[in-house]
Structure 1
Amino acid sequence: MGRQWAAATSDGGPPKVGHVTTDPSAAPWARARLHVVTGKGGTGKTTVASAIALALASRPGRILLTEVESRQGISQTFDVAPLGTEETRILRLAGGGEIVGLSIDAKAALLEYLQMFYKLGRAGKLLEKFGAIDFATTIAPGVRDVLLIGKIYEANRRRRDGRHKGEAAPVYDGIVLDAPPTGRIGRFLSVNSEVADLARVGPIASQAGSITRLLESEQTVVHLVTLLEEMPVQETLDAIDELRSKSLRPGAIIVNMVREPLLDDLALEQARAGRLHKASIRTQLTEAGIRVTPELVDGLLDEARDHAQRIDLEREQLALLEATGLPIVQLPALPGGVDAGSIRELAIHLAPLFSGAAVHEAVQA
């Protein structure tokens, strides 16, 4: 690695925003091409997926950033026109890298599948007219997820010469998937394994088996986005256990929206015990030109105690995450909201997880 990143610890010291808790050069996804990003709703997984794509594109590389929930989160993050079913460039970097966006639609994926594997282009349109396509993509259990993952599988295999096999370089140097939330990620990624078991033989079983091999290989890794709160952390821990039980590879835990403590450790201890010095607080408020009242001082003491308790909870949650043994990076809260500039800032924090200083410098350019 071109630079060292200090470890964040839960042994009493405050969390360190932007620092990785393990040696990133030992990351288990050195050969990964497909980076799946999941997280409980509200943790900012689309924002993190976008920042990961930017970090990878800065190598430089051509990265496909995809979404499967039809929320248009990617287009909103980069402030571009809504994505359609065609792959569309949404960002080009000065160093030569680029990000291509795609919102995968199950109906379009099924029609493409019928044409590609069964040459049923016109027949597929007829099936759509009679509602069979809607049935397959909205009612039939698991079919929608099979189609969504199948589209990603095809993009991963596609070569620059238009083929899906051979010596030509892949169209994309990497793919980032803004995936379903942690509560559904295990079933989403393992659905093709279930299909292969059901179909047993034939082209459907063959393709399902190929997709399963990709997802269970070292080419695929699942990154988990969380907050330092009890429910998101518990969902993250449950998802890690589920992924491992299904032979899928957890990657990094990305703790989002982290705020540095407002007080040092000594002040936190005093606030926790209700021993902050009232006279000193009054003096500092007066020097700042603030009219001091007993109610104001008592209110500040209550807020300081609440802050100390929140920091204690965050450290407890961080310790639970560290016990998984996975790399952890903490991203700062963005008070100004999410835009292209803030995505660049987050990509710099994420850079050591992927290529170290070279990516850090490219993102800054």
Structure 2
Amino acid sequence: MTTDPNAAPRARPRLHVVTGKGGTGKTTIASAIALALASEPSRVLIAEVEGRQGISQTFDVPPLGTDETRIMRLAGGGEIVGLSIDAKAALLEYLQMFYKLGRAGKLLEKFGAIDFATTIAPGVRDVLLIGKIYEANRRRRDGRHKGDAAPVYDGIVLDAPPTGRIGRFLSVNSEVADLARVGPIASQAGSITRLLESDQTVVHLVTLLEEMPVQETLDAIDELRAKSLRPGAILVNMVREPLLDDLALEQARAGRLHKASIRTQLADAGVRVTPELVDGLLDEARDHAQRIDLEREQLALLEATGLPIVQLPALAGGVDAGSVRELAALLMPLFVPSPVPPSVPPPVEVAVQA
């Protein structure tokens, strides 16, 4: 992990937005962040907006709905609550909250107005999705949205859209506020924008050490900064250690690995040695060296952003609740202030409850 020791201290964020190019493991990392935060112990909400049910699959629980539902409770007292945000349900809730439409809202849904607003009207869907997160962030334990009572959630993790869309997704409320200058829509849009641009919110970027994901990450960082949004950490996923040391990599890169030594080691291992086998291994070693060179180049580009970087290993056994705990333990130094618990407490319950 790399950090700037001279950086001015900031308020600890409560809303962690997680984005990344498709295929980088964004949902897995978002789940690991939620688990790291909950181990403090804290009550953490993790929400998704793409309807893929990735969170329920990661935690191996039934599909999430539009109600906030407990999906894990830790032995140390922490708790994770899950939510799959649906734009249509959010709009009906919004109409009832601000306009008291009640049954009239159901009639709008029957005649297709809700579907129109959430699929056709530019930006409305994203405003509604983020609005649910905004409401959860404001809600207090006494049921109010203002006052001195503690928040319902100590932290919120949003499994957000990919890097190619994240800037517009998070800035759409400022655009709506400019269009609707008065009324509850403008007021809420302005409030959401202030939350997203404040120190309470950070955007973490998940990437692989490959050219396309890294370039999308760099582009997203520039876009976020241009929109007054705050990038958090770069989380490099699926990192594999080199199979050869630096000397062997240099030799492989130059085609100077010692064939006789390779033949001897293969024979000692009981492998039938052929010229084709040795030549094939030399080709693979050269390709491996070139891949390591590329990964180091990409890592240098990420380091140039000045953001904290955490490298997370590839999970040999695939993704399950246990492997997410492993990733959460590696993320704890970044997300949990000192003193850091020695490990993520095991779950005492992994079940969906109302």
Place the TM-score, normalised by the shorter chain, in its bin: over 0.9
Further displaced range: 25-34 or 201-210: 25-34
Judging changes above 3 Å, is the alpha-carbon distance between structure 1 residues 337 and 126 closer, same or farther for their aligned structure 2 residues?
same
Q: Is contact 1:43–1:227 with CA below 8 Å preserved after alignment?
A: yes
Q: Is contact 1:27–1:327 with CA below 8 Å preserved after alignment?
A: no
Q: In 2, distance between residues paired with 1:313 and 1:360?
A: 43
Q: In 2, distance between residues paired with 1:41 and 1:240?
A: 16
Give 3-state SS (helix, strand or coil) of 2:6's partner.
helix
- Relative to the length of structure 1, the TM-score reads 0.90
Give 3-state SS (helix, strand or coil) of 1:326's partner.
coil
RMSD between aligned residues: 3.2
Q: In 1, distance between residues paired with 2:31 and 2:9?
A: 21
Matched, 1:364 2:353: yes
Q: Which runs of 5+ in 2 are unaligned?
A: 336-347
Q: Is contact 1:274–1:301 with CA below 8 Å preserved after alignment?
A: yes
Q: In 2, distance between residues paired with 1:207 and 1:84?
A: 24
- Corresponding residue number in structure 1 for 2:190: 209
Q: Is contact 2:70–2:353 with CA below 8 Å preserved after alignment?
A: no
Q: Is contact 2:69–2:353 with CA below 8 Å preserved after alignment?
A: no
Q: In 1, distance between residues paired with 2:186 and 2:311?
A: 41
**Residue correspondence of structure 1 range 73-88 to structure 2 within 5 A:** 73-88=54-69
Q: How many residues align?
A: 342
- Corresponding residue number in structure 2 for 1:234: 215
Q: In 1, distance between residues paired with 2:328 and 2:5?
A: 15
| Segments ≥4 residues shifted beyond 3 Å | 23-30, 359-365
Cα distance, 1:22 vs structure 2: 2.3
Cα distance, 1:363 vs structure 2: 20
Q: In 1, distance between residues paired with 2:309 and 2:249?
A: 24
Q: In 1, distance between residues paired with 2:186 and 2:36?
A: 36
Q: Is contact 2:49–2:160 with CA below 8 Å preserved after alignment?
A: yes
Q: In 2, distance between residues paired with 1:106 and 1:24?
A: 41
Judging changes above 3 Å, is the alpha-carbon distance between structure 1 residues 28 and 255 closer, same or farther for their aligned structure 2 residues?
farther
Judging changes above 3 Å, is the alpha-carbon distance between structure 1 residues 265 and 30 closer, same or farther for their aligned structure 2 residues?
farther
Give 3-state SS (helix, strand or coil) of 2:352's partner.
helix
Q: List per-residue Cα deviations over 1:144-180 (Å, max 9, x = no partner).
A: 0000000000000000111100111000001000000
Judging changes above 3 Å, is the alpha-carbon distance between structure 1 residues 26 and 340 closer, same or farther for their aligned structure 2 residues?
farther
- Relative to the length of structure 2, the TM-score reads 0.93
Question: What percentage of aligned pairs have identical amino acids?
Answer: 92
Q: In 2, distance between residues paired with 1:305 and 1:361?
A: 46
Pick from 18, 21, 28: which aligns with 1:47? 28
Q: In 2, distance between residues paired with 1:107 and 1:23?
A: 43
Cα distance, 1:24 vs structure 2: 8.7
Q: Which runs of 5+ in 1 are unaligned?
A: 1-19
Cα distance, 1:23 vs structure 2: 6.1
Judging changes above 3 Å, is the alpha-carbon distance between structure 1 residues 29 and 335 closer, same or farther for their aligned structure 2 residues?
farther
